Structure formats: structure tokens, C-alpha cells
Structure 1
């Protein structure tokens, strides 16, 4: 377990070292692309699932930092009654996490990305809108924050993965994000999984993983 500080609070990070990869970044001794992995509102309740995702990404050649950003507010999972007031604090912590990640030995600060799940994706959009070091976002069924929908900032290349039957974050968020990226002529892909809810299962989960690997390979590997 590693740590960094955000506004005086210690934030835990689970670090997964890149194991392999393709292209220039795969050579021994060279800096590797790196990812922040941001969990959803469930926090660490289902941490093993996030750790499995982190290990999978690391096996594909990315350093992965699984950030316990709820440490900023002392929570294990999101308290929905405080969601709006706590969101800016978590966003600040994720910005600090980007800076921390860029400084890690063996990390290529020019090839950083964020994999965000639900709330984690909303934080990714918010941070990437003002953080040019974020070069790619993987959006797993995340909401587009109202402020960003109004301000329409330029985002980095984004892969949107969403279920058509998501009752927690309606698929309209994915479509709104798609329109924003289209308007900006930003590289993006979108896949809406018919009948899937807030979370992907079965063949949809496998298809999403393959799309993530291709998208990150295109935008971060060998860049």
C-alpha cells in the first residue's frame, strides 16, 4: 500500500506494477503508461472486483493506481446525503492523484489515463477537463456532471461503456457525453449494451474488456 497527501489527509493507493506490454513501452527499463482506477459509490465494498481489473490492466502493460479517494472524507462508501458537498473534495483528491502518479518512478507522465466506474467516471471527467496530463478516459456507466454538461469543456479521448437498462445512471448520460465529444471532434467510442444495467455481466463484460484493451492501446501505448 502506498500513500499521498490531499489537503493534509493521507490517501491510500494500491499499486499494481505493469507486467508486460507491446510496442516501445514494453522494453525493459523504459517508462510505462499509467492509469488511475477510480471505484464507484460502493467504495471498497467490492474491492476485489476492482483489484481484479487492476491486475488485468497491469498485465497489459500499464502501471495501475487504485486510489482510495474516499479517504479524503473518511468514508468507506459514499454517503449519498453528502454527495454534492463531497464531490469537489474527491475531485481535488483525484487531481492530486494525477500529480502523484506522474511523479512515480517508471511512469511516463505523457501517457496517463483514468479508468472510472460510475461516480469514478464522473470524477474522471471533472478532473480531465482541467488536467492536460490525462490523455484517455475509460467511462464505465458514469454520469456526466451537470456543471460539465453546461460548460462543455474539452475532454481527452474517451471510451463510453453503458447499459441500456441502467436505472442508476440512465443511458441518456452516455448519449449526452457522446454529443459533447462529437461537437469537439474528440476521438471516442461508445458501446451501449442492450438489457444491461448498472454493471456489465457475461458476454457484455468480456466485450467491454476487449474494447478497453484496444482503446488504451491506441491512445496510450507507444504514444
Structure 2
């Protein structure tokens, strides 16, 4: 079929009967302000993080790497490393994590900000019932960090905030690869402590005495446990601070964290635990030579993690 053609004469006659439209009046352009996005990008760019990652059960887990600025601190120019574990709200705008990573890098420690929620397919990624699944992702992350050519695998630490602090303490109590732990507003899982903890690496505890999400008594219980174990530890309770540190307390917490890891991941601390035979009631510590998948954490180790599901926690900024 031929396309329907309109003659110039017909087109002209049509134009003659069509009303002439007046030019539309221009409406004043209103400047709109985009809503603020809860994105980690600004803080990540500030930290100059290098995006990397690994695959866990078919899912890509992102890891932002902020490399040490002072290379050559260890054998073969390898630096110590710290994994940074976020809280139950994820990374948020990144302001609680990437400045920390930059401060560590400035002191010669490579920081790895682990998006461990990437490895969890369920919607409620912070649910207590998913503790073991999250811990398996974090264990894979430790292995990933240890395999990097620029990392000294004998000098690895973990920093955890809130939910990340629960995981950092649980991991430090059973994984011999972890040489130091910093727990900020987290706690030792009650079930882990009930079954028995016989070892903790050097640990720094940071907490606010007005924390309504994870009460400060949990920090004091943790300190009491470490005193019983003879664990080398430090503690700072910030007066007037809640679940999120602000102002001077936040600045001080970063400085204390960096100083703690600098001292406990120094070159002469690397082999401290390598030859120790640690008998842990929850199961054997994972030797550095064993694959990560051989580690089997106990079920329901964060029964008390229900604290993190409270309304005041869900509405709090992490």
C-alpha cells in the first residue's frame, strides 16, 4: 500500500481553516532543590576510596579500599589492615566510616569498608535470625583482605559500630586471624558469652553513657569479661553521648581507634597468636591455613540482637 499523500493545495486549505494559536506565555522557572540523598558517595570520594570486592554465593560484595599512605611498614612492603563493619542501617551517608578509613590510612593502615549486606539476599538484612549468614560474609571478607598482596595477613584488625560491633567481638573471640578489635556502641553477643569465651585479642571499647539502643551496662559487662580473661583492653565511656557520637566525642573516638590499631598492629605484633593453641568452647579458632568455609559459627548467637529492632533504634541515625 502506498502512503497517503497530502497535496500542497489541500495542506494550504487546511491551514487556512485552522485557528492560529497564540504563543504560550512562558511560565517563571522555579528553582527546585533536590532532596538530600542518604548516599555514601560524598564521604567515599573524600576518602578517595578504591572500589573493589569479592563474590559470595553468586553475589558481589563491595569493598571500598583506602590504602595506607605510608608503605613499607612490614615485610615485602605490606601494611596492616582493618576491616570496617557498619551498623544495622548500612553505611548511611558514610560519615561514620570513611573519615575513619582515611585516618587509618594516614597512619599506615589500609582500611577496608565492607558492604557485607551485599551478601544477604533477604530484605531485612539486620534481622537477628540472619546473624550466621552475615558472619559468613564477613569471614569471606577477612579472607579477601588477607589475600591482598599489599596486606600483611598477620596484622589484621576489625572495627565495628553497633551491629558491626557485635560481629567484630564475636569474630575476634573465635578467629585467630584477628589481632585487634575496636567495638563502638556494640556488645558481646549474650549467647556467645553464655556458651563460653576463653580468648579475646586486644580490644578497645567505646560507648556512650546515654545510649538507649545498646545500654552502657553491656559495655561494662564486656569489660568485666575481658578482665576475667586477662585480655589487654582499653575502655572509654563518653559522658552524655548516645548511640551516635558527635562533636568532640566523635573526633576523640577516631583518634583513639587509630592510635589503638597503630599500636596493636605494629610489625612486632604480627606473629603474637600464630602458634597459640586456643581451646574455645564455641569451637576451635580458625587457623590461618584453613579455608574460610570450614568455620561454622553457632546458631542464633545474636539472640539479644533484638535490641537492634526497637523503634528508637530504627529511627536513630547510624
TM over 0.5: yes
Look up the match of 1:103: 147
User: How many residues are treated as equivalent by the alignment?
Assistant: 217
CA RMSD of aligned residues (A): 1.9
- Among candidates 94, 98, 102, match of residue 47 of structure 1: 94
1:30 aligns with 2:86: no
- Among candidates 245, 255, 265, match of residue 210 of structure 1: 255
Look up the match of 1:143: 187
CA offset digits 1:37-70 (Å, max 9, x no partner): 0011110322243222211111111111100000
In 2, Cα distance between equivalents of 1:152 and 1:13: 32
Deviates more, 1:105-114 or 1:29-38: 29-38
Bigger CA radius of gyration = 2
Give the TM-score taking structure 2 as reference length. 0.64
Contact 1:152 1:180 in 2 (8 A): no
Deviation (angstroms), 1:85? 1.4
Contact 1:20 1:26 in 2 (8 A): no
Look up the match of 1:7: 57
List runs of 5+ in structure 2 lacking aligned partners: 1-50, 270-318
Q: Which has the higher strand share?
A: 1
In 1, Cα distance between equivalents of 2:100 and 2:186: 17
Runs of 4+ in 1 over 4 A off after TM superposition: none
Contact 1:26 1:61 in 2 (8 A): no
- Among candidates 176, 179, 182, match of residue 224 of structure 2: 179
Look up the match of 2:279: none
Look up the match of 1:17: 67
Deviation (angstroms), 1:141? 0.6
In 2, Cα distance between equivalents of 1:130 and 1:176: 19
Contact 2:203 2:233 in 1 (8 A): yes
CA offset digits 1:166-190 (Å, max 9, x no partner): 0011001101110111111010001
In 1, Cα distance between equivalents of 2:254 and 2:196: 28
In structure 1, the residue corresponding to 2:89 is in which secondary structure?
A: coil
In 2, Cα distance between equivalents of 1:49 and 1:127: 21
Deviation (angstroms), 1:20? 2.1
Deviation (angstroms), 1:26? 6.9
Compared CA separation, residues 167 and 189, structure 1 to 2 (3 A)? same
In 2, Cα distance between equivalents of 1:56 and 1:98: 20
Give the TM-score taking structure 1 as reference length. 0.90
CA offset digits 1:138-177 (Å, max 9, x no partner): 1111022121221232111100000000001100110111
In structure 2, the residue corresponding to 1:108 is in which secondary structure?
A: strand
In 2, Cα distance between equivalents of 1:26 and 1:201: 34
Deviation (angstroms), 1:105? 1.1
Deviation (angstroms), 1:35? 0.6
